[in-house]
Amino acid sequence: MKEPLKITFLGTGTSQGIPIIGSKHPVCLSTDTKDKRLRVSILVSWNDYNYVVDCGPDFRQQMLTHDVSKLDGILFTHEHSDHTAGLDDIRPFFFRQGDIPIYAQQRVSDSLRRRFDYIFTDANRYPGAPAVAVNVIEKGKSFFIGDMNVIPIEANHNRVQVFGFRFFDFTYLTDVKTIDDEEKEKIYGTKVLVVNALREEAHHSHFNLEEALKFIEDIRPEKAYLTHISHLLGFHEEVEKKLPAGVHLAYDNLVIEV
Ligand SMILES: [Zn+2]
Ligand SMILES: [Zn+2]
């Protein structure tokens, strides 16, 4: 029924992406395709279903690259622009399918409503504007996308509270700095874990590499992938060699089955 779950890494970069516009940093100048990272997002597919987690500014390019012709919904981790700025580009899906379901906590839904008021308005709709069907999700309450149950996992992104998602044996967390034990309990037993690792130096709102590896050691998944990566973490090939067994850097267009 639900298996195998196919996960496509649509983007694995931090908020500015890699390369950063105008940057002369060696990682930004790298010709290795694995050093080119769009803004962070994954496509979760099974049977005929396609859901994305987040919808950043590279959403259009990501949908084109992976030839996605039907989108069943968008799960939002939080409201930051690198996770939401592509929302207008749901238009082709909306024209073919009608209102696109979105799953977000109330605060995030309110923020989207302020920033994309023309998408959320009921009256005097601008011709050509897309529309969404809002599903408000809450801590401690699992929900369904298609025929799959999803467990939201609350984490802290400095002062912003974010949601990660557990889909059976697969858990996706990004923009995490700390996570409470009660929420961590919901992740144990996951076979594949994705978690953010920004760079080596500490950061106020993101796991650095050391914190991400410590977290993975605690959860003990069979496999772990790091995402939301800054150019400051270094060249993909070099960082990959330094990682413990079972832990990898994710890269754009990587596809895994869980
Ligand atoms: Zn982010
Ligand atoms: Zn963020």
Predicted local distance difference test score (pLDDT) of residue 95:
97
Confidence (pLDDT) at 2: 52
Q: Rounded to the nearest whole angstrom, what is the distance from the C-alpha of residue 199 to the centroid of ligand 1?
A: 13
Distance 110 CA to ligand 1 centre (A): 18
Closest CA to 28 of 250, 229, 201, 208: 229
CA-closest candidate to residue 74, choices 97, 95, 50? 50
- CB atoms within 5 A of ion ligand 2 belong to 80, 175
- Please state, in angstroms and rounded to a whole number, the distance separating the CA atoms of residues 73 and 134: 10
Which ligand sits nearest to residue 205's alpha carbon? 2
Angle among Cα 88, 98, 105 to the nearest 5 degrees reads: 60
Is the whole-model pTM more than 0.85? yes
Q: Which ligand is nearest to the CA of 79?
A: 2
As assigned by CATH, the class of the 6-255 domain is alpha beta
Per-residue confidence in pLDDT tens, the chain, 258 aa: 456 999 999 999 999 999 999 999 999 999 999 999 999 999 999 999 999 999 999 999 999 999 999 999 999 999 999 999 999 999 999 999 999 999 999 999 999 999 999 999 888 888 899 999 999 999 999 999 999 999 999 999 999 999 999 999 999 999 999 999 999 999 999 999 999 999 999 999 999 999 999 999 999 999 999 999 999 999 999 999 999 999 999 999 999 999
Measured in Å, residue 64 CA sits from the centre of ligand 2 at: 24
| Residue 72 exposed, middle or buried by CB count within 10 Å (0-12, 13-18, 19+) | middle
If you ran DSSP here, which 8-state letter would residue 32 be given?
-
Q: What is the model's pLDDT at position 135? A: 98
- The pLDDT value recorded for residue 11 is 98
Number of Cβ within 10 Å of residue 113's Cβ equals 14
What pLDDT, on the 0 to 100 scale, is given for residue 124? Answer: 81
The Å distance, Cα 1 to ligand 1 centre, comes to 32
> Distance, CA 39 to ligand 1 centroid (Å)?
8
